[in-house]
Amino acid sequence: MIVIATIKEVAKEAGVSVATVSRVLNNKGYVNEDTRKRVMSSIEKLNYKPNAVARSLFKKKSKMIGLIVPDIKNPFFPELARAVEDVTNSEGYTLILCNSDDDFHKEQKYLDALKQKYVDGFIVVTSTLKAEHVEDHNIPLVALDRSIHPEIPAVYSNNYTGAKQATQYLLELGCRQIAHIRGPHHINNAEERYKGFTDVTKDQGLYDPKLVINGGYSIEKTIGVTSELLKKSPEIDGIFAGNDMMAIGVLKAAERLGLKVPEDLKIIGFDGIALCKTTSPEITTMAQPIYEMGTTAARMLLDFIEKKEVINTKQVFQVQLVERQSTRVSLKR
């Protein structure tokens, strides 16, 4: 049975007051070198570890940060979370990962619950929280992947430009009937990607509203709606899916209809998750620098918390085309 020592016991062991032990612990104030050594050896001897909760109570800080994501089962978020965790861990923070299911009340619940635990700050991927809710909480917060408000620090990528590039790329490959499977209307990055798509197709006189459908950022839903679409409009020769999960859904739908990808139909996704490499054909995508986005958001939040000067309150990353088999016949399969 392990007995947990307190600061008092250490103080007694070392023959000093608790204040001195605390000073040694925090490298704060004056401590004689000999005393310091004595205290250190008592700490060692008793295997003393300061009580994080007592410390939190006084400091109103917990060395914990909260990360709220819509759904950990979408592989995009574990990749992001992993990046955040790597940074927070290395700085001595504990990460608390929460699933919101994109639900406003769940997000609020987490915000409330964690604030009561004196969580030092939040990184949130949200489409439902608005500026007022965040400001209400009055706690360091960084938006990730989706911006909340121009005034609130955020890290995301250039969805609009990326979508334009994706669409242009399909055009360059010779596609002339290009469809877009868009994400939910309430998610701003889906809206941006949709806008990028329409701006390019309209510019080319190829825009047709019938070729835009909503896949809800999910594989299952996308399989259904895309099958319908492809049956109704068999002339479609290229599809830009609003994210990689939906691109997989498109691929499934095409497969079920006996369409050859990329020969009959070219598919491009968005996000750059590892899953794109597991399908056959592998999926071409506009890759976001997921890991970098995660670490950037984490660093930004920690800078906020530690009140270092934060230069950039907004960080926008460029996406990059990753060509794979779903668009190019020549690519070895």
Partner DNA sequence: ACTGTGTATGTAACGGGTTACACAATAATA
Partner DNA sequence: TATTATTGTGTAACCCGTTACATACACAGT
| Footprint on this chain of its own copies (rule: CB under 8 A) | 1-2, 49-54, 56-57, 62, 64, 72-73, 75, 78-79, 81-82, 85, 94-99, 112-114, 116-118, 136-138, 219, 248, 251-252, 255, 274-275, 278-280, 333
Whose Cβ is closer to its own copies: residue 101's or residue 306's?
101
Stretch that binds DNA, among 12-20, 77-85, 127-135, 290-298 (CB under 7 A): 12-20
With a CB cutoff of 8 Å and minimum separation 6, the contacts of 104 are: 128, 129
Whose Cβ is closer to its own copies: residue 197's or residue 270's?
270
* Tokens 């950990």 sit on residue: 72
How far apart are alpha carbons 307 and 312 in whole angstroms? 13
Kind of pairing between the strands at 212-214 and 154-157: unpaired
Residue 22 binding DNA, by CB under 7 A: yes
Q: What is each CA distance from 37 to 14, 23, 48, in whole angstroms?
A: 9, 12, 15
Residue 326 Cβ vs its own copies, minimum distance, rounded to whole Å: 11
Residue 332 Cβ vs its own copies, minimum distance, rounded to whole Å: 8
Tell me the three state secondary structure of residue 182.
strand
Whose Cβ is closer to DNA: residue 58's or residue 132's?
58
Half-sphere exposure of 285 (CA within 13 A, CB side): 25
Exactly one of 2, 27, 30, 92 binds DNA (CB under 7 A); which one?
30
Residue 50 binding DNA, by CB under 7 A: yes
Binding partner of 275, given DNA, its own copies, none, CB within 5-8 angstroms per partner class: its own copies
Beta strands in 13-72 (DSSP E): 64-69
Residue 329 binding DNA, by CB under 7 A: no
Exactly one of 13, 16, 200, 325 binds DNA (CB under 7 A); which one?
16
Whose Cβ is closer to its own copies: residue 31's or residue 275's?
275
Residue 42 binding DNA, by CB under 7 A: no
Q: CB 325: neighbour CB atoms within 10 A?
A: 19
Whose Cβ is closer to DNA: residue 22's or residue 165's?
22
Stretch that binds DNA, among 33-41, 76-84, 195-203, 237-245 (CB under 7 A): 33-41
Whose Cβ is closer to its own copies: residue 199's or residue 292's?
292
Binding partner of 307, given its own copies, DNA, none, CB within 5-8 angstroms per partner class: none
* Tokens 């969805």 sit on residue: 159
Residue 307 binding DNA, by CB under 7 A: no
Residues linked to residue 321 through DSSP beta bridges, in sequence order = 286
Whose Cβ is closer to DNA: residue 49's or residue 332's?
49
- Sequential DSSP letters for 79-100: HHHHHHHHHHHHTTPEEEEEE-
Binding partner of 193, given DNA, its own copies, none, CB within 5-8 angstroms per partner class: none
77 token code pair: 């978020």
**Sign of the alpha-carbon torsion through 125, 129, 135, 136:** negative
Q: For residue 157, is it left (φ>0), alpha (ψ between -120 and 50) or beta?
A: beta
Residues 56-115 within binding reach of DNA (CB under 7 A): 57-60
Residue 20 binding DNA, by CB under 7 A: yes
Instruction: Indicate the residue type of 294.
Output: G
Burial of 3 (0-12, 13-18, 19+ CB in 10 A): exposed
* Tokens 């056959």 sit on residue: 280
How far apart are alpha carbons 10 and 44 in whole angstroms? 9
Residue 94 Cβ vs DNA, minimum distance, rounded to whole Å: 16
Stretch that binds DNA, among 21-29, 83-91, 140-148, 190-198 (CB under 7 A): 21-29
In the chain, the N- to C-terminal Cα span, in Å, equals 59
* Tokens 């955040």 sit on residue: 84
Q: Which residue ranges make up the site for DNA (CB under 7 A)?
A: 4-8, 15-20, 22-23, 25-26, 28-35, 48, 50-51, 54-55, 57-60
